[in-house]
Amino acid sequence: MSAGAIRTLGYLRVEATDVGAWRDYGLKVLGMVEGRGSIDGALYLRMDDFPARLVIVPGERDRLMDAGWECANAEGLQQIRNALDVEG
């Protein structure tokens, strides 16, 4: 896999036991703004034109659920797919 296959981190989805603490951190420390989304009770934090860079979902534990990556092009995306098929 080429080092340039992934261009940027697109978003993170986090399960959190204290969504309010994430709201304070996102708004007051990171300088993000609150957005909207389809998951009831979730916090959507924006920093640019992307709908949400951080999605905080209320839950029973604190953990990273998903990470979305942006690839430079279709070839880069295919390289990532191939690597995931091999590595799991």
**pLDDT at residue number 71:** 92
Q: What is the pLDDT of residues 46-84, one digit of tens each?
A: 999 999 999 999 999 999 999 999 998 999 899 988 988
Is the pLDDT assigned to residue 3 strictly greater than 80? no
Domain boundaries, the chain: 9-87
pLDDT interval class at 2 (50, 70, 90): low
User: How is 5-74 classified by DSSP, letter by letter?
Assistant: SEEEEEEEEEEES-HHHHHHIIIIIS--EE---SSTT-EEEESSSSS-SEEEEE-SS-EEEEEEEEESSH
* Mean pLDDT in residue range 43-48: 98
**pLDDT at residue number 72:** 86
Class of domain 9-87 (CATH, top level): alpha beta
